[in-house]
Amino acid sequence: MFKKLFYQGICAGLLAALAAIIYNRIYIFAFETNFSKIVNLGSMIGSNLFADLLAAIGYFICLKWFKKRADVIFNFAFTILSFASIIIPMSMTLPLDIQNPEMFPGLTVPMHFFPALAWFTVKPLFQVKQN
């Protein structure tokens, strides 16, 4: 079961990373701002993979502890954690050489929801049987 959840986490992480990369390119084009010193290809791929692999571990634990209520509890927790994580880009102090620092939250806040959206999108493809 964990193997299937691990693959789901990787798949969701890659999907979220792809969405983040596309969103980043659109944002750069639309607003002519570049935060590539902070938000680069490696950080987008790494953070999304990490978040969804962590979600796979969390979902595995929820399945073991809560059995039939695991989906509800996990989805609620993942959503709350996604909302809570937007505090990070909102409170971040950028280097002085970055132009338009007020545009940074507009780029990064939506990206904090990509791992959860990707997880919920690929979940039906990796449905785990519950006892």
Question: Looking at the predicted structure, is the pLDDT value of residue 131 above 60?
Answer: no
Mean pLDDT taken over the chain: 91
SS3 for 130? Answer: coil
The span from the CA of 26 to the CA of 115, in Å, is 19
pLDDT score for 97: 80
Q: What is the pLDDT of residues 2-45, one digit of tens each?
A: 899 999 999 999 999 999 999 999 999 999 888 888 899 999 99
pLDDT score for 127: 81
Domain count, the chain: 1
* Encoded amino acid at 92, one letter: M
- Is pTM, for the whole model, over 0.85? yes
Residue 117 domain boundaries: 2-126
- Assess if residue 131 is contained within a domain: no
Place 130 in a pLDDT band, splitting at 50, 70 and 90. Answer: low
- Assess if residue 49 is contained within a domain: yes
Question: Looking at the predicted structure, is the pLDDT value of residue 56 above 80?
Answer: yes
Structure-derived torsion over alpha carbons of residues 108, 59, 122, 119, reported in degrees to the nearest 10: -10
- Assess if residue 84 is contained within a domain: yes
Distances in Å between the alpha carbon of 4 and those of 22, 44, 108, 129? Answer: 27, 24, 30, 11
Out of 15-19, 94-98, 115-119, pick the least confident: 94-98
pLDDT score for 129: 63
Higher pLDDT pick, 95 / 45: 45
Helix, strand, coil percentages (3-state) for the chain, rounded to 5, are 80, 0, 20
- Assess if residue 58 is contained within a domain: yes
> Would you say 55 and 12 are in contact if contact means Cβ atoms under 8 Å apart?
yes
- Assess if residue 102 is contained within a domain: yes
Question: Looking at the predicted structure, is the pLDDT value of residue 120 above 80?
Answer: yes
- Assess if residue 19 is contained within a domain: yes
The span from the CA of 5 to the CA of 57, in Å, is 8
> Would you say 118 and 52 are in contact if contact means Cβ atoms under 8 Å apart?
yes
Structure-derived torsion over alpha carbons of residues 11, 114, 117, 122, reported in degrees to the nearest 10: -10
- Assess if residue 38 is contained within a domain: yes
Percent of the chain with pLDDT over 70: 97
